[in-house]
Chain A
Amino acid sequence: MDLTNLTIPEIRSALTSRRASAEEIVRAHLVKIEERDREIHAYLTLSPERALAKAREIDHLVASGAPLPPLAGVPIAIKDVILTRGVRTTCASRILDNYIPPYDATAVERLEAAGACLLGKTNCDEFAMGSSTENSGYGPTRNPHDLERVPGGSSGGSAAAVAARLATAALGSDTGGSIRQPAAFCETVGMMGTYGRVSRYGLVAFASSLDHIGPFARTVRDVALVLRTIAGRDPNDSTSADIPVPDYVAALDESVRGLRIGVPGEYFAGLNAEIADNLQKGIDLLARLGCQIKSVRLPHTEYAIACYYIIATAEASSNLARYDGVRYGVRSTGYRDLREMYEKTRNRGFGAEVKRRIMLGTHVLSSGYYDAYYLKAQKVRTLLARDFVQAFEEVDAVVTPTSPIPPFKIGERIDDPLQMYLTDIYTVTADLAGVPGISVPCGRTRSLPHLPVGMQLLGKHFDEASLLCIAHAFEQAGGFAAGS
């Protein structure tokens, strides 16, 4: 039995039948990381002592015959923008090279309370700004399915770790697609709940009105198990919603027959032919499963990237003002006064993409430009959110491609920021509207080297259950199983 290949229910049954101990499961992952992560580079920091301590705790529970918590012995990876008490958290930025958080993010605390074993922290684009994990201050992560290619981003390390069996599940963060797009590129399942569904306490802020924490796993059931654990009201995050969390796992077995699924033409116009082909097969499968496929309109989609890159950078320029070499992180040397200390610290500590976004955000908020850019973008955001409200009067969910292109080669797009931004076209809309989204594997491209394609499902506010149910039925019926 390959202990790195197990799903969460399989881990549970291995533990309860005493076929494997939690310590053996964690050690198998640590060995695999040792073997494979030199080439993939999914992890920035490992926390083996913490994982093993939790595993032994679980093994004691097993030995004593006590009931096991829901994620007992599940090896997990955490994106390095999410705080872990006592475990270095860099945001993949040199400016936080030595940062040791004094507390855990709520999502991390809940996962460990549920028995999960924290293997380490995963690579990402610096401060989650990017679509390829190439913007990491510590070098890129490689796609486990093709080492020449990017794993997507910004949560590329989490997606690659799950795809390469270097973790059973992982947490990522999604501000403009940073969970769903790498999930698609690495052939895993990735989900972003409704804004407010999962507490952001302990998530390092990038764009606070758009940031989400969410899970990656190799099956929809595992994603549902992790989401059920981390979702729900947290007094430490005033934007976390006080709405009961339904049993997402029970929802998986509901029937999808009769559910109305909308196909927005705006997301398919001019689409890469191979991705369009896979999506059509995916939609046909949903129809065979008894879903009612309807055409819907999301008419403002073409303005989403413009709107997103104004709002996200404006919020980022404000959130990242705190990195000034005073309270945490690396302080530069060779300054004459306070202002020079700030400027040298920030210019040496931040990478090019972070500086570009801070510049853009500062410009659009600056005197004389605020109305033309920021206020305008906030109004366009209203129109984009309304598009979804109207569409969801007619359908229960919307199906789209996750990414307009398959995983691209490392270095291929890094020199043209605007072209990189445009790859987020199908994912930023859900963050702007605050609706939940999931990406599930939808086969491989026909031509060599047969790259992963993701199908995205978007749903109504707080209706994660329907998305999980549809995604689960699709996964079970499609032969589009994750992994290789």
Chain B
Amino acid sequence: MALTEKDVRYVAALAHLELTAEEVRKFLPQLDSILDYVQKMNELDTSHVEPMAQVVTSASENPALRPDVSRKALTPEQATANAPESAAGYFKVPRVIDRER
């Protein structure tokens, strides 16, 4: 399966990356050769193998659960201190919803 420039642009749009024409030309053969290489996995019959999403070690029993009590957290000012634009503890972004024209 060979990638096309159209595929590269489609994936870039999914990833919110505005690639230049030069980047598309550069990435195309590189991504293609990597995808070609990983086909190697198809030599293995995995039809009866369970997928592994995470390393689960027997001793970590329910580590995610803790009492549902409130804890100290960052203040809105601290949480927005690194934002390119913020005001009154909120993040500022460009208009998202268009007014009717």
Interface residues of A (CB under 8 A from B): 98-100, 102-103, 194-196, 209, 233, 235, 238-243, 300, 302-303, 305-307, 309-310, 317, 321, 324-331, 335, 337-344, 346-347, 350, 352, 355-356, 358-360, 362-363, 366, 373, 375-383, 385, 417-418, 421, 433-434, 461-462
In the complex where A102-B79, A381-B52 touch, is A355 in contact with B17 (Cβ < 8 A)?
Answer: yes
Residue of B whose beta carbon sits closest to that of A421: B34
**Inside 8 A of B18's CB, which chain A residues have their CB?**
340, 343-344, 346-347
Q: Across the interface, do B12 and A359 meet the contact criterion of CB distance under 8 Å? A: yes
Closest to B36 in A: A418
* Top 10 A-B residue pairs of the complex, sorted by shortest distance between their CB atoms: A434-B55, A378-B51, A331-B84, A343-B18, A379-B46, A328-B82, A238-B64, A306-B38, A195-B55, A362-B15
Chain A neighbourhood of B23, CB < 8 A: 352, 355
Q: A359-B11, A383-B46 are in contact. Are A347 and B83 (CB under 8 A)?
A: no
- Besides A102-B79, A306-B38, 13 more A-B contacts (Cβ < 8 Å) are A99-B82, A241-B59, A327-B82, A347-B19, A355-B27, A359-B11, A362-B11, A362-B15, A376-B41, A417-B30, A418-B30, A418-B33, A421-B34
B95 within 8 A of A: yes
Q: At the interface, is chain A mostly helix, strand, loop or mixed?
A: helix
| Residues of chain B within 8 A of A240, CB atoms compared | 63
Q: Give bound CA distance, A328 to B55, whole Å.
A: 30
Please, could you name 25 A-B residue pairs with CB atoms under 8 Å apart, sorted by A?
A98-B82, A100-B82, A239-B60, A321-B16, A326-B83, A326-B91, A330-B84, A331-B85, A338-B93, A343-B18, A346-B15, A347-B18, A355-B17, A355-B19, A355-B27, A360-B35, A362-B15, A363-B35, A373-B38, A378-B51, A380-B41, A380-B44, A380-B46, A382-B46, A385-B52
> Given the complex, which residues of A lie within 8 Å of B42, measured CB to CB?
376
Chain A residues with Cβ below 8 Å from B44 are 300, 303, 380, 383
- The verdict on A375 contacting B51 (CB below 8 Å), with A303-B41, A327-B91 known, is yes
User: What residues on A are CB-neighbors of B83 within 8 Å?
Assistant: 326-328
Q: In the complex, which of the residues A194, A309, A347 contacts B57, with contact meaning CB atoms closer than 8 Å?
A: A194
Tell whether, in the assembled complex, residue B59 and residue A366 are in contact, meaning their CB atoms are under 8 Å apart: no
**Complex alpha-carbon distance, A340 and B95, angstroms:** 12
Count class of interface residues, chain B: 35 or more
| Interface assignment of B74: CB less than 8 Å from any CB of chain A | yes
B84 in complex: contacting residue of A329, A337, A350, CB < 8 Å: A329
Interface residues of B in 37-93 (CB under 8 A from A): 37-44, 46, 49-55, 57, 59-61, 63-64, 66, 74, 78-85, 91, 93
A104 to chain B, nearest CB (A): 13
User: Which residue on B lies nearest to A233, using beta carbons?
Assistant: B63
